[in-house]
Structure 1
Amino acid sequence: MPESLRHSIILATSNGTGMGHLARQTSIALALGDRADPILFSMSRAVPLVFELGIRGEYVPSSDRVTLEASVWQHYLADRISALLEETGARVFAFDGVWPYYGIIRARLRHPRVAFVWMRRPLWRPGSNERALDARHRFDLVLEPGDLAATADSGITADLEDVERLPPVTLLSQVDRLPRAEAAEQLGLDPGRPAALVTLRGDEPDGGATRAVQTVLGQADWQVAVTRKLPDIDDDRVVRLHYVFPLARYLEAFDIGVVEAGYNSFHEMLHAGIPTVTVATAAAITDDQVARSHWAAEQGFALSAEEGDPSGISEAVGRLLDPVARDAIRERCAALAPPEGARVAADRLVQLSGNFTRHRIPKEERTEMRRRDWRNVRQRARRLAGRVRHSQSGPSTDAGDEPELVSPVPLVETVTMDELGATPPPEHVLSGTSDNYRRARTRIVTNYLG
């Protein structure tokens, strides 16, 4: 194993509705510094943006990106995790997502000396995703990023005790924020004029994003940065931001914001002290954005509006254009404690990588695994595709005497977001890995996608 890959910590993410999972794991990777070798393992097509920060990693396609039955994909995922763990010698695998995949649980069964951690945000909508919580007993540690709106949490996670709670986890504490003039110039904004940031989704002619921008443009001296194209807005004071990550680095350029009330953007804007309208999106299935947005408004940290009420969004933005209202929000936000969750999480993962010995799988869990025995999946897959071959023990990275295989899907070290949007996406390989690892990955691709 290459020297550079020792003492690795795998930071895995699902592919959520936004950038929250990826942003949190990126902040932890940066907080690890030189104490470990963080490796991202992400289902997000935006992961190439993180590689530009000097963090290594791999993209792994989610089940909807490959032509596999969902149950077969779980075993593909387990094999991908196992191969990466064997190659890197990582002692910790930390997953950020609201639904721990069966493939992760199966990989844990194969690697008793690797600590598996679930990074699970709080503030779940009441009644949502409750079955997923059964998986917490199959992790060696559950870490919960803190939420400023914790007192508004009425979901099932609020009263759990088998969890270590952290301060808020954001990139804000891990990146150097540029001074206003430099940040504005790099984004194509005029640093001498007030600026609004609008990141709402949707491109409807009379939707919330459009109404927010139009309200700001009603003030002759204001300018707006948007993250999505709005077809009915034609004004040279509107700047489109293309794949700017991390946006936290440039927040000094903005005087107000209009953002969804997701964990990442919410905490970045409030901790940065930017007067903001937070809007809960219906696209969030588990995240209780309504509770988070309303809490911020009730406590004076932000204004709140409803996604389905464009007029209400416009009215809230109009209130933010009042300097007195902005000053009041800035004063409230200035009292917030620094968001040190990324540092605390990194400290805990380093500690775990140094003192974890092994986990023991309870008998009842092994019994449940047998119910989902791979032989049944293999039989279904053969009927469907006639191509999947799999070993119960997982992939081996020993070359042995087997013939050289040629991957039916390209194995590549460098990828772009556009390339990851292809169908099927390329098989991304961690840079600097061994020939044995590449052979193992070729076997996995051939078994499942050949």
Structure 2
Amino acid sequence: MNNPKAGRNDSTDPQLPRILFFNVNGSGMGHLNRCLSYARRLRDRARPVFFSLASAIELIEEMGFEADYFVSPYWSTSSTFAWNSELAVRFGMMLERVRPDVIVFDGTWPFQGFLAACESFGSPALVWSNRGLLKEGAKTVPVDESLFDLVIQPGELGAHESEAPLEGGGTRALVPPVCVLEDDELLDRAAAREALNLPQDGRFALFAMGPGNLKDVAGIGQGLIRVFEAAGFKVVWVRAPISVRDVELPTGVMPLTVYPLARYLRAFDAFVGAAGYNTCCELVQAGVPALLVPNTQLADDQVRRAQMVADAMPAIVSACETDEERDAAVGKLLGMLNGAPAKRAVIPMNGAVLAAERILALAAKKERVQ
């Protein structure tokens, strides 16, 4: 099930600036999600087009945007050199066809084939959307930020807009958390349950453990399912659009495939999942109490991010690796659910709007220069 109100992109006016988004295929949906967040705020003011390494390209098209797919290096059998060489040709063809005013790359580091194609094409403004909060000591690849006119850093919870100059004349802009939907696009409990064909009565827990990238998804997930079912919850398990294999679910657990998930979060009494960037931003936006199980195998510091959520709203952070940890974590969460509603912190969540405005301003600046 996907958003029936996504609409088509009617930005076909040839006078509108053309924005070409290049999203990589990460361990989750983050890169694609952020590009869609920006593109939706540019609708009818620009012509967003996608060049995606993420396999869930149908989600881009269902949102109403043009898209082209190129296989991720993680799924390609080619050598790094051969893959980058082919990327340079394919992306170069895309540049010739779209002739963008601005190129927005969202990924951990820009590929050599991507940079080579941009250099050969010439004049468009170049933007790098680069999420931070890496673990201390995490491996990074040096990138010459002077190549970019704008570096957007999607902020963590509590971040406020700020900027600093880059070598080469560009700007680094920190923005508040980036969400694909606006607050008024989230369904309330009754409407969300109706949309998902769930009964209005009963307690439901939503499990979103990621596309198989959480350590021992099956073991931790199924252990937690038993605890929640024992507490009287019905369990719904999200199957990620980019998952390469499905976890075998126990009898009685309902599978769910939906995008964007944020629209339907309020259908559920509790959320269980990893502490990825999208997940944490959307949980705070929707205000759904959560049990967060950080994935410590990724480069980003999910433990720290999960704690930020717990500081802002009702949430428990636990590795949930043993029965004892699972019982304790669920017990604490149930205590929160049964207690008086906690006061939520007021956190700015308008990063996508601010980033889109900067991208659009950059396009206008380039048009004046040319």
Q: Does the alignment reach a TM-score above 0.5? A: yes
| Letter in structure 1 aligned against 2:251 | D
| Letter in structure 1 aligned against 2:220 | G
| Letter in structure 2 aligned against 1:171 | V
What is the alpha-carbon distance in structure 1 between the residues aligned to residue 106 and residue 327 of structure 2?
Answer: 34
Of residues 122-131 and 35-44 in structure 1, the stretch that sits farther from structure 2 once superposed is 122-131
Q: Which residue matches 1:212?
A: 224
Q: Which residue matches 2:256?
A: 241
Gaps of 5+ in 2: 1-11, 167-171, 240-245
- From the superposition, tell whether residues 160 and 305 of structure 1 become closer, same or farther in structure 2 (CA, over 3 Å): farther
More helix by share: 1
The answer to whether 1:256 aligns with 2:273 is: no
What is the alpha-carbon distance in structure 1 between the residues aligned to residue 322 and residue 164 of structure 2?
Answer: 35
Cα deviations by residue, 1:130-163 (Å, 9 ceiling, x for unpaired): 324x232322210001101669xxxxxxx98642
Structure 1 residue 283 displacement after superposition: 3.9
What is the alpha-carbon distance in structure 1 between the residues aligned to residue 103 and residue 31 of structure 2?
Answer: 15
Cα deviations by residue, 1:336-367 (Å, 9 ceiling, x for unpaired): 234111111111111111112799xxxxxxxx
Q: Which residue matches 1:266?
A: 280
| Letter in structure 1 aligned against 2:173 | E
- From the superposition, tell whether residues 129 and 47 of structure 1 become closer, same or farther in structure 2 (CA, over 3 Å): farther
Structure 1 residue 317 displacement after superposition: 2.2
Please give the TM-score of this superposition, normalised by the length of structure 1.
Answer: 0.69
Structure 1 residue 188 displacement after superposition: 3.3
The answer to whether 1:195 aligns with 2:209 is: no
Which of the numbers 291, 297, 302 marks the counterpart of 2:304?
291
- Give the SS at the match of 1:207: helix
What is the alpha-carbon distance in structure 2 between the residues aligned to residue 206 and residue 86 of structure 1?
Answer: 45
- From the superposition, tell whether residues 223 and 81 of structure 1 become closer, same or farther in structure 2 (CA, over 3 Å): same
What is the alpha-carbon distance in structure 1 between the residues aligned to residue 340 and residue 247 of structure 2?
Answer: 29
Q: Which residue matches 2:248?
A: 231
Gaps of 5+ in 1: 152-158, 360-450
What is the alpha-carbon distance in structure 2 between the residues aligned to residue 279 and residue 108 of structure 1?
Answer: 39
Q: Which residue matches 2:333?
A: 320
| Letter in structure 2 aligned against 1:99 | W
- From the superposition, tell whether residues 173 and 206 of structure 1 become closer, same or farther in structure 2 (CA, over 3 Å): closer
Alignment map for 1:37-436 (pairs within 5 Å): 37-132=47-142, 134-148=143-157, 162=166, 163-173=172-182, 176-201=185-210, 207-220=219-232, 222-228=233-239, 231=248, 233-235=250-252, 238-242=253-257, 244-284=258-298, 286-298=299-311, 301-306=314-319, 308-309=321-322, 311-323=324-336, 327-329=340-342, 331-332=343-344, 335-356=345-366
What is the alpha-carbon distance in structure 1 between the residues aligned to residue 274 and residue 148 of structure 2?
Answer: 31
- From the superposition, tell whether residues 183 and 247 of structure 1 become closer, same or farther in structure 2 (CA, over 3 Å): same
What is the alpha-carbon distance in structure 1 between the residues aligned to residue 59 and residue 15 of structure 2?
Answer: 21
Structure 1 residue 22 displacement after superposition: 0.9
| Letter in structure 2 aligned against 1:13 | N
Q: Which has the larger radius of gyration?
A: 1
Percent identity reads: 33
Contact 1:320/1:326, CA 8 A, preserved across alignment: no
What is the alpha-carbon distance in structure 1 between the residues aligned to residue 286 and residue 277 of structure 2?
Answer: 14
Q: Which residue matches 2:34?
A: 24
- Give the SS at the match of 1:280: coil
Cα deviations by residue, 1:49-82 (Å, 9 ceiling, x for unpaired): 2211212211111124334221121122122222
- Give the SS at the match of 2:284: helix
More strand by share: 2
What is the alpha-carbon distance in structure 2 between the residues aligned to residue 49 and residue 217 of structure 1?
Answer: 32
Structure 1 residue 40 displacement after superposition: 1.6
Contact 1:183/1:250, CA 8 A, preserved across alignment: yes
Of structures 1 and 2, the one scoring higher in RCO (CA 8 A, sep 6+) is 1
Cα deviations by residue, 1:209-235 (Å, 9 ceiling, x for unpaired): 112222221133x22211246536212
Of residues 63-72 and 46-55 in structure 1, the stretch that sits farther from structure 2 once superposed is 63-72
- Give the SS at the match of 1:137: helix
Contact 1:120/1:145, CA 8 A, preserved across alignment: yes
| Letter in structure 2 aligned against 1:239 | M
What is the alpha-carbon distance in structure 2 between the residues aligned to residue 85 and residue 206 of structure 1?
Answer: 42
- From the superposition, tell whether residues 150 and 122 of structure 1 become closer, same or farther in structure 2 (CA, over 3 Å): farther
Contact 1:40/1:58, CA 8 A, preserved across alignment: yes
| C-alpha RMSD of matched pairs (Å) | 2.8
What is the alpha-carbon distance in structure 2 between the residues aligned to residue 305 and residue 5 of structure 1?
Answer: 52
What is the alpha-carbon distance in structure 2 between the residues aligned to residue 115 and residue 191 of structure 1?
Answer: 50
Paired residue total:
342
- Give the SS at the match of 2:177: coil
- From the superposition, tell whether residues 232 and 239 of structure 1 become closer, same or farther in structure 2 (CA, over 3 Å): closer
Please give the TM-score of this superposition, normalised by the length of structure 2.
Answer: 0.83
Contact 1:26/1:50, CA 8 A, preserved across alignment: yes
Cα deviations by residue, 1:277-302 (Å, 9 ceiling, x for unpaired): 11211342x21112112333356552
